[in-house]
Amino acid sequence: MDDASIPSVGLNSGHTMPVLGLGTWTMTDEVADKTVPVAAQLGYRMVDTAAFYQNERGVGEGIRRSGLPREDFFVTSKVNGRDQGFDRTLRGCEQTLSRLGTDYLDLYLIHWPMPMRGLYVETWRAFIRLVEEGYVRSIGVSNFLPAHLDRIRDETGIVPAVNQIQLHPRIVQQDSRAYAEKQGIVVQSWSPLGQGGKLLSEPVVQKIAERHSKSTAQTILRWHLDQGLVPIPKSADRDRLADNLDVFGFHLTDEEIEEITRLNGSEQPMNPETFEQD
């Protein structure tokens, strides 16, 4: 498989982004360094990391060891909670770039809004500066609720390109998705497989997977893609990496999407109003 087999979606920045990427949360530097070249060889081109994951060095090393040019990759990172605020964010980005060993990010996200700290608007102003200075191509947010998004749009005039949120069939996030659609924000789904837990053995998912002769993980990834969501499944296993990418040759019907969506509510999402990241 080559990169031409992963379709792209347009962002409000004028850039494009692959519709499926590699998650790296819980990978150490060492595991990321080993996994990224394997994923790249299979056809992955988007890699999602964060300062908080402490694996940006491994991701950067893996990109270099893949043998592909930097421009072939779409690299996302996220500013840490403790680096929110204008000056700290500029410095946080510089450190992220240095750890990754690159001179630009394709996408930079505010990891959590942490409204109690009251710094996400200043952080967003720094993001706007980072685009103006060429360090970042597209800017977005993660775990932002509509009220947080309203605030940064109203105070800066710049709408995020992406909102990366906790999203899978047990947590379908209708409100955030409806808001994003109206504002032209692309939604990325984090924990798209429900962290590989109970979701993968739900009978309704198994039934639909069997009908398509696909795995339950592939069926759930198709549930995301068929609704215009951008999943970033994490795997450090070659076979599962291949499985998660082999999802572009089939579609779910509207009825199948609806059946799977009925799982909504069987898990509680994390709360962006109260979650505090170090």
Ligand X SMILES: NC(=O)c1ccc[n+]([C@@H]2O[C@H](COP(=O)([O-])OP(=O)(O)OC[C@H]3O[C@@H](n4cnc5c(N)ncnc54)[C@H](OP(=O)(O)O)[C@@H]3O)[C@@H](O)[C@H]2O)c1
Pick the binder of ligand X from 8, 12, 54, 195 (CB under 6 A): 195
Q: Annotated catalytic, 108?
A: no
Measured between alpha carbons, how far is 237 from 140 in angstroms, rounded to an integer? Answer: 29
User: If binding is defined by CB under 6 A, does position 256 make contact with ligand X?
Assistant: no
Number of chain positions touching ligand X (CB under 6 A) = 27
Structure-token match 């692959």, residue found: 18
186 Cβ contact list (under 8 Å, min separation 6): 9, 11, 17, 140, 161, 162, 163, 180, 230
Q: In angstroms, what is the minimal distance from the CB of 245 to ligand X? A: 10
Q: In angstroms, what is the minimal distance from the CB of 93 to ligand X? A: 17
Integer CA distances (angstroms), 89 to 86, 111, 128, 168, 176, in order: 5, 12, 11, 30, 25
The region of 82-90, 144-152, 233-241, 258-266 touching ligand X under the rule CB under 6 A is 233-241
User: If binding is defined by CB under 6 A, does position 200 make contact with ligand X?
Assistant: yes
Nearer to ligand X, 30 or 87 (CB): 30
User: If binding is defined by CB under 6 A, does position 73 make contact with ligand X?
Assistant: no
Structure-token match 């952080």, residue found: 123
Q: Mask of contacts with ligand X, 82-101, x by CB under 6 A?
A: --------------------
Measured between alpha carbons, how far is 109 from 115 in angstroms, rounded to an integer? Answer: 16
Structure-token match 């592909």, residue found: 68
Catalytic choice (44, 53, 108, 179): 53
In the 8-state DSSP scheme, what is residue 18? E
- Which amino acids are annotated catalytic? 53
Task: Point out which residues bind ligand X (CB under 6 A).
Answer: 23-25, 48, 111, 142-143, 164, 190-196, 200, 215, 217, 232-237, 240, 243-244
